[in-house]
Amino acid sequence: MISQYAPTDIGPPHYWDRMPKMSQDNYGQWQYHEKVKPGVLKHVGPAGALYTVRAASPRLLSIETLRWFADLAEKYCDGNLRFTSRHNVEFLTSHEENVEPLIAELEAEGWPVGGTGKSLKNLIHTQGWVHCHSAATDASGTVKAVMDELFDYFKRDDLPAKLKISMACCLNMCGAVHCSDIAFVGVHRKIPRVMDDAVANACEIPNIIAACPTGAIRPNPKAKSVTINEEKCMYCGNCFSVCPSMPIADPEHDGVAVFVGGKVSDSRTGPAFSKLVIPFIPNEPPRWDSLVAAIKNLVEIWVNNARKGERYGEWVERIGWEKFFELANLPFTDKHIDDFTFSLKTFRTSAQFKFTDK
Amino acid sequence: MTTSKARPMLDELKKGPYPSFVKEIEKSAAKNEQAETLLDLLEDSYEEKRVHWKHGGIVGVRSYGGGVIGRYTDNPEKYPAVTEFHTMRVNQPSGWFYRSEDLRTLCDIWEKHGSGLTNMHGATGDIVFLGTTTDHLQDCFNDLSNAGYDLGGSGSDLRTPVCCVGPGRCEYACFDTLDFCYNVTQNYQSELHRPMWPYKSKIKISGCPNDCVSSKARADFSVIGTWRDGIIVDQKEVAAYADGGMDIQSLVCDYCPTNCIKYDGDKKEIKIDNGNCTRCMHCISAMPKALHVGKEKGATIMVGGKATIVQSAFLSWVIVPFMPMNKENDYEEFKDFIEKAWDWWDENAKVRERIGELIYRKGMAEFLKAVELDPIPQMVNHPRENPYYFWYPEDFEAEQAKKMEVAE
């Protein structure tokens, strides 16, 4: 009799047989790589060269598209492909002559090739309104609108440095967008609504209290629920994540905040968090025009002013944040000065600064 | 099923040069009612500027507590087909390498059991099957398992470990990230599938300090490839870069954070003071043909990284400056370390407290005792700036013992 339950704990399939033969033959012995052109890499080892053709994907992919990727891999790459941490699909082939026909077929169907070297990388993002309970904005839609506008930067690799833009639809920041050159994040601005009866029925009070970063939540023993101190709540939504009976979504007041200057790699200056530059932009579906214009401005001032080799944050640190706000033509407000746990180290403790006109 | 309904908001997002997620949903909607309903729900979200999803409600497959995320619409009367619309996380192969037939297998299973919509991949690294009903979960799992796939992590468990492409396609790889990721994932299957910790715990593995999987920013345990000896210089290739017109002084040397690389323009040669090199990778990334990572390779183990919730975002910090990554001994040193760290965290953490937050609350000294490591300067940017530190009985005992030794 066949068991009703298949084996558990078998773990992921092994990677070895899923790699191209060239990767197996050069395994651990790669000598160097070349950036052939935007979207095409050539990695060389003793056994020969492996070509990578990188195409952007919106991460949300239907199985119809995946089957077409499989067709292309069979047609041009002996069946080999992989995906990247930024949701690109990469076709891997040792046949140099297949690179251009593959690119032509991808682009003809609307799958752009690019995003290597000193280019705008594919955007990473979260689920948004497509599938998440706590989203303060949509993810796929904002990303589509921003990428349509910045599309040329994905296709060229002559920017000052690589440019990583990332999106998260709430402060949970799935995907850790907090260390990106430019990050835009869905934000709430009103406190959660406490549905006392539902909280009493469905939620663990100590968990809700522990979930609050600012100690704004107190037990309400009478109602077997909680109360929120409006003055302390900064709308992170973490209590809603542990207790669905405290909804925080608010169409009137939800929107997007923008941070810049983060990075992860150790190159030169080490990893850094992104910093707040625009506290709020309203949700404007379907094309989020104000958000798109703001991000375009942020990209352009970097492209036009940074030195060759400077990531976004490295450029801002060199010119100073006061200069950056002037150059970006952005208001500096009370929201920009940190008042959370680690705020003190962000205050300027020297009289060295630059004067600006505003 | 029909996709002819007017959806003016979503139609706007079918235009433009970047691939459209709306078209992707439509492709699945042609065959699947849940995907069709998703379009209607999404159009309403765009009109109303709000989500139509609820979380909560434990769903899953037999013997596991993680791997499936329960999802329900908040308006089942209006969107009955997505009354249940759960996510399944499927553990990806190391390095996200696939053969075309692997993709076809996954597609066939998901066509049979779900919406036909995927994420390749989720933020953690899993293959994400997006949207199915409760009654399909076990059957879908059975088909996956019989095809050689398993679920990834979710909830308060070990999340699916993830690694960069490593020795499969990169000359910077300082250890076998693909093997290490596979080994660790297989070794901790129960921790991955059965949530029993205070909160999630993540392992992310990068073969060099460029950190292509953003390990330092989001993993409790960041494994970063590095080397102890010097950068290997191929002077012939240095000269070739110079002859090709590269401004080596300004693009390579001037960006060196420790000023340890010198270029001799007459000889077209580079000299590196390796004792002062901090292995930032800038020069190697700028001249990959001429400069290569050293020969004595291993990994730096960093601890504590996480996103914003609850106490603020943390970047991982150095705990073990150099750990050899030996396949031969089954990465025993790493496993020994992480098990001690997990035990201490599990024992001491509050609900929803990541290990970085616990170390911050309790102090590094306590953590180092738990993992049996001595403090060393590589762990900090600089020493303490205040005089508020503790003395313990064992400090005085050690002092006394030293005095006795001298007296003898």
Question: pLDDT (tens digit, 9 = 90+) per residue, A319-346?
Answer: 999 999 999 999 999 999 999 989 999 9
* Half-sphere exposure (Cβ direction) of B206: Cα atoms closer than 13 Å: 24
- Per-residue pLDDT, B11: 97
- A85·B212 Cβ contact <8 A: yes
User: Is the predicted pLDDT of residue B308 greater than 70, yes or no?
Assistant: yes
- Per-residue pLDDT, A3: 63
User: Is the predicted pLDDT of residue B220 greater than 70, yes or no?
Assistant: yes
Candidates A264, A274, A290, A311, partner chain B, best to mutate (most B CBs within 10 A): A264
Q: How many helices (H) and strands (E) does chain B have?
A: 15, 16
At A297, which helix (H) or strand (E)? helix A289-305
pLDDT less than 70: residues of chain A: 1-3, 358
- Per-residue pLDDT, B142: 98
Q: Which two tokens stand for residue B380?
A: 């900090």
Residue range A105-142, pLDDT digits in tens: 999 999 999 999 999 999 999 999 999 999 999 999 99
Q: Is the separation of the CB atoms in B97 and B179 below 8 Å?
A: no
Count other Cβ atoms within 10 Å, centred on residue A78.
Answer: 17
Residue range B342-376, pLDDT digits in tens: 999 999 999 889 999 999 999 999 999 999 999 99
Q: How many angstroms separate the CA atoms of B377 and B395, rounded?
A: 20
Burial of A161 (0-12, 13-18, 19+ CB in 10 A): buried
Q: Tell me, what amino acid is at A230?
A: E
Examine residue A286 and say whether the peptide bond preceding it is cis (omega within 30 degrees of 0): yes
**Helix (H, G, I), strand (E, B), or coil: what is residue B190?**
helix
Candidates A63, A102, A201, partner chain B, best to mutate (most B CBs within 10 A): A63
Distance from CA of B9 to the nearest CA of A (A): 6
- B148·A133 Cβ contact <8 A: no
Examine residue B165 and say whether the peptide bond preceding it is cis (omega within 30 degrees of 0): no
Residues 314-353 of A with CB under 8 A from B: 340-342
Residue range B88-135, pLDDT digits in tens: 999 999 999 999 999 999 999 999 999 999 999 999 999 999 999 999
- Per-residue pLDDT, A1: 45
Q: How many angstroms separate the CA atoms of B13 and B9, rounded?
A: 7
- Contacts A188 to B, Cβ<8 Å: none
- What are the residue ranges of helices labelled H in B72-160? 100-113, 137-146
- Contacts B110 to A, Cβ<8 Å: 63
What is the sign of the dihedral through the CA atoms of A140, B96, A56 and A62?
A: negative
pTM over 0.90: yes
- Per-residue pLDDT, A176: 73
User: Does residue A285 sit at the B interface (CB-CB below 8 Å)?
Assistant: yes
Residue range B177-196, pLDDT digits in tens: 999 999 999 999 999 999 99
- B173·A30 Cβ contact <8 A: yes
Name the residue in chain A with its Cα closest to that of B310.
A213
User: Is the predicted pLDDT of residue B4 greater than 70, yes or no?
Assistant: no
- Per-residue pLDDT, B408: 79
- B138·A273 Cβ contact <8 A: no
Mean pLDDT of chain B: 96
User: Is the predicted pLDDT of residue B153 greater than 50, yes or no?
Assistant: yes
Q: What's the distance, CA B319 to chain centroid?
A: 18
Candidates B22, B86, B169, B315, partner chain A, best to mutate (most A CBs within 10 A): B169
Name the residue in chain B with its Cα closest to that of A210.
B351
Kindly state the average pLDDT of the residues B200-210: 98
Cα angle for residues B299, B174, A86 (degrees, 5° grid): 95
- Contacts B300 to A, Cβ<8 Å: none
Kindly state the average pLDDT of the residues B275-292: 97
- Contacts B50 to A, Cβ<8 Å: 129, 249-251, 254
State the residue for tokens 């199985």.
Answer: A63
Q: Which among A33, A141, A176 has the least Cβ separation from residue B214?
A: A176
- A171·B120 Cβ contact <8 A: no
**Helix (H, G, I), strand (E, B), or coil: what is residue A321?**
helix
Cα distances (angstroms) measured from residue B210 to each of B164, B197, B216: 10, 31, 10
Kindly state the average pLDDT of the residues B35-54: 97
Candidates A2, A54, A60, A88, partner chain B, best to mutate (most B CBs within 10 A): A60
State the residue for tokens 């949300």.
Answer: A60
- Per-residue pLDDT, B333: 97
